[in-house]
Structure 1
């Protein structure tokens, strides 16, 4: 049996995708060997598992490594483009798949500095290099000779189809180039490249502004201001203050992992308001880190760019190769759920206001009250105390549970590497070897970077340092999960909320997707954005299975398993607060689509547009968007989720539908037959199979929305 808890709290996820800068493993790399040895970021990875030299990376080495890596890849691309032999899969597409190996390695280090270890030196370098990297990408995308060869291979493959994975690579490659302006004339191509260059700088600036506001707004509390806060939270806040030179105080940092529990438990309403205000105003404080102007510029440039290719708006261009296909289809799904979520919020607010009134409060529920009074309602309705539940959610035990689930479903075994043979970029990062439980075959490594710190962006995400393929020789996977849990005081356990535990399982789902890969060509390791969240969202369901609860949810102090009475309360409250969770997420998804449906955003005032759009949507005043515009890094720090944030909901339709297949099977969530189909059809193929086809192979039919509505406790009609 599974506790159906679909509190959608999507995190920033870095998943493999088909880009010119993706981690394409290659064998074509013989040039500049001596220089590579001098620059550790260019060097071939070594050690027992051939892993990144994280212990040798420096910001100073990044620029020369990037410049040399880009120069080398351009040489390789030129050689492919100018090949005098007729274009074939091997001498064009396969050769492209093998190009840029040294640069791929450099981008691993660049990504670590960007997401996990940012500092002033790196941000300066990032600002300098972003337009150069964009110009480099444009040179490849706009190489006319190269595109004509790609086009020839594509046209030939349409007449005489290639083996399945080769055919898919050819079609994805051709699609990617045409979607990114390869068919434009010379003048349009030049403007297209210039737009991308400008956008790259704007994305960097947007991201760094949010990070600056996260680092710059810290609330320091005295001992008499800690009312209602759990002991574990207080201990972590004391440690955070001490690390910042505020001995004897308690630091409330400006990240979601701190904000949410503070708003849930603090009894000081004015402090709740202050912490909430700091968080929701990131990037919107009218100072040098304000992002409103960046948003207008980004949207204007995106619109101009797609206009060059004949599209009226960015969303129509973006969704043409997604599962949704059109913005109208995405809206249709969101609009089925939105009214039901609004109705549920009214019920939730009514319940909370009744408690305020009963306690003699003379105020209406505000956004900084919602979590606090929702917790009171939870206790009243279900006799369920979130802090009591938290005592059974130890991070280390949750990790062990994930490993056990991975063993039962995927036949994976995780063994810690403790001999120092795998370098890490920060002392808190730990590494495990992943092997096949039956054969003992080495599959890859799993890195975990669990704690928040200065220079690390907020949220939770998954990425790969090396992806699987068997293009030449079979390559193992280097997968990474990254979180922002509050580092505990020495000797204390990390206790997390049920929601954070779900997110931990979610990101591990991405890692399992990486590790399960069985594809030949690196391009196929990517994915379709409104599908790639499905596998990770599905894994959340195993947190609430009886097996995990009974074996891994142990009390922090006594070691006793979670009592049946508490489990019963959790299950009874499984759809509690779904109005809030759905509205918080879906308002951001709707706002994203509204922005990217604009035909002319050049005179846009983002702050006013946000307010008007939310008013038109009848957004409850008691809730704010999960990601307000000026901090919406998913869509403004890059393009991965731009006009695609709806994808979490689209994927969750698949998630709920697939979960019901498990729940209805003979063996429940651990049914071997269903698990084997899950791995075979939905995890191992990555993007080698069209997602709609893959899901039908697994389920025997298309997904239905009814299961999602049932999960959230909304009426099905």
Structure 2
């Protein structure tokens, strides 16, 4: 029997990772698709007249076996992949895409959903049921249910092709990231590098049975190198390598793939009656339209750009004075910013890292969640995991009831993609009176402990951990009826609010005192460091905002207009970056070919949402600050109206219920020192 198709029978119904073999996946997917089809057929063939229960609810709970297998497989394909897994993903993705279309383009099923949708005013539904009905109706209408047959077939072909292309895009970026290494054998090339980075580089070389030190394009290796290495030529070499990923006219090149994805998305949107892909996407976002996104972005840019230009001029003058640098280049950016920051605030990451031992930071996040939301995290050792480095926790509330299972996976390894993310292995929902609790995972890439040191985080990594943990809380505290509205199943430009608001606690003395203790002496982080962390929080915020907006504007340029005449990616990007450009162009580099957020992840037409959510999070945190950062009443309101509600109502309704008003950008501008 295939383990993936049985009741797991494990503790808390957790995934039996160690028992799953790669050869189980494909047949399990095939069988789970058949099961889901049978559930759909049962809804269609039901001879009773359609009701909310026998159609909308039944549809929401259908396909749960397929959902579970998909979440296990695709999460592992990101965190613990192999050539074999990637091959399975290539085989399975078209099947899933086809099944999704079989459901969404099924005329008989849509007729039943439409019948209920047209009676919705007389059905006496609660807000969550209304949202579910609306979401389901749109999942058909926005995916071609109203199209004639031949256009439906066209849509199927486009979707199949898109799912393959985005997988290929991601595999190419991963292959290019893994293909490059900077192998150093001369000790003087290490000048400027922190001890921990040198030790990690030595460890990497040893693992490959090589002499010397190896620096890779994985963030824990790449970021410290470009930030601290005194050797400008080597910084240049690795920066160009990073920016040239999948832009080298080799087997892993993504240029054609990017053009194809953009054009297919546009074609798909047109087929469905939308002007562009962005018009299609933004109809289901808080921002509502590309025009509104552009106006929001350009308003922020107008406030950030003068500050960015001032900061760039200051940085250029500093680099010239320090090292006689005539023209600041991209490979100088992190290096001289760090030096300038040290000079202005006498605060560098190396001074701070001893106070941010990974385990203590994680426990700090747990303690803050306990103070705010009454949660307790207990490490457990009897839950199966997919890699020995993963740690597992049972999360309980004040009444000692299970809230969630939490997996933490923090170190880079070969089969794991770069970056940091939150995901779930099982959704929360309520069925037959039972509240099924979620299984949530945070995946990051922090420096591994070495023989002499535990894993010590930079302050930036501390905020990353808190950010992903914020997404985690959104998943863990979910408390909704239906799986499709649970946890992070919210409008995309609302999903970053719970994650970004958590970062704010990292700057508060009261919160830092809970976890920022020196790993050797146990001493609490000195108050002067805390003040400097706060002061330096707005350091180069103009440049940071400018950079973030440039990515969002590039995303809108790909998706908010007709891309059919774009032939050359580099030329196109250069035009798009003109309004935000500070550094000279690097001819060997392109952003789009490794812009995984928009060409592999779900951020197409949505990259602006990071900034959008920053407006929300600054405004929301101001409410905490006004009442105390651990104020129970405000925390309870945030938990009840935001964290537990998922996508059950429009986000602006939820936000206003929490805050009592719409968000204002002033709190963000103030926090960033832009006003």
TM-score range, shorter chain: over 0.9
Q: Which of 37, 60, 70 is the equivalent residue of 1:74?
A: 37
Tell me whether 1:386 sits opposite 2:349 in the alignment: yes
Matches of 1:503 and 1:114 in 2, distance apart? Answer: 22
Q: Which runs of 5+ in 2 are unaligned?
A: none
Partner of 2:635: 675
Displacement, 1:651?
1.0
Contact 2:507 2:533 in 1 (8 A): no
Partner of 1:479: 440
Partner of 2:618: 656
Instruction: Specify the SS of the correspondent of 1:555.
Output: coil
Show CA shifts across 1:61-84 (max 9, x none).
111111111111111111211222
Higher mean C-alpha displacement, 499-508 vs 374-383: 374-383
Q: Which runs of 5+ in 1 are unaligned?
A: 1-37
Residues 362 and 319 (structure 1), Cα distance of their counterparts in 2 relative to 1, 3 Å cut: closer
Show CA shifts across 1:223-247 (max 9, x none).
332111111111112222222332x
Tell me whether 1:645 sits opposite 2:607 in the alignment: yes
Displacement, 1:488?
2.4
Higher mean C-alpha displacement, 75-84 vs 687-696: 75-84
Q: Which of 313, 320, 326 is the equivalent residue of 1:363?
A: 326
Instruction: Specify the SS of the correspondent of 1:576.
Output: coil
Instruction: Specify the SS of the correspondent of 1:511.
Output: helix
Matches of 2:407 and 2:377 in 1, distance apart? Answer: 11
Contact 2:570 2:590 in 1 (8 A): no
Q: Which of 234, 240, 243 is the equivalent residue of 1:271?
A: 234
Contact 1:393 1:496 in 2 (8 A): yes
Matches of 1:613 and 1:227 in 2, distance apart? Answer: 37
Higher mean C-alpha displacement, 402-411 vs 115-124: 115-124
Matches of 1:627 and 1:534 in 2, distance apart? Answer: 30
Partner of 2:193: 229
Pick 1 or 2: higher relative contact order, CA cutoff 8 A, min separation 6: 1
Q: Which of 286, 297, 318 is the equivalent residue of 1:323?
A: 286
Displacement, 1:257?
3.1
Aligned residues: 670
Partner of 1:452: 412
Partner of 1:195: 158
Displacement, 1:362?
4.1
For residues 62-461 of structure 1, what are the structure 2 equivalents within 5 Å? 62-222=25-185, 223-246=187-210, 248-418=211-381, 421-436=382-397, 438-461=398-421
Tell me whether 1:706 sits opposite 2:666 in the alignment: yes
Instruction: Specify the SS of the correspondent of 1:359.
Output: helix
Instruction: Specify the SS of the correspondent of 1:252.
Output: strand
Displacement, 1:447?
0.2
Contact 2:501 2:621 in 1 (8 A): yes
Contact 2:542 2:674 in 1 (8 A): no
Contact 2:245 2:594 in 1 (8 A): yes
Higher mean C-alpha displacement, 303-312 vs 337-346: 337-346
Q: Normalising by structure 2, what TM-score?
A: 0.97
Q: Which of 522, 527, 534 is the equivalent residue of 2:483?
A: 522
Partner of 2:473: 512
Matches of 1:245 and 1:225 in 2, distance apart? Answer: 20
Higher mean C-alpha displacement, 541-550 vs 408-417: 541-550
Displacement, 1:627?
8.9
Matches of 1:232 and 1:193 in 2, distance apart? Answer: 51
Matches of 1:172 and 1:578 in 2, distance apart? Answer: 38
Displacement, 1:623?
8.7
Displacement, 1:693?
0.4
Residues 177 and 624 (structure 1), Cα distance of their counterparts in 2 relative to 1, 3 Å cut: farther
Displacement, 1:334?
0.8
Displacement, 1:602?
5.3
Matches of 2:317 and 2:641 in 1, distance apart? Answer: 49
Instruction: Specify the SS of the correspondent of 2:414.
Output: coil
Matches of 2:88 and 2:464 in 1, distance apart? Answer: 32
Residues 397 and 203 (structure 1), Cα distance of their counterparts in 2 relative to 1, 3 Å cut: same
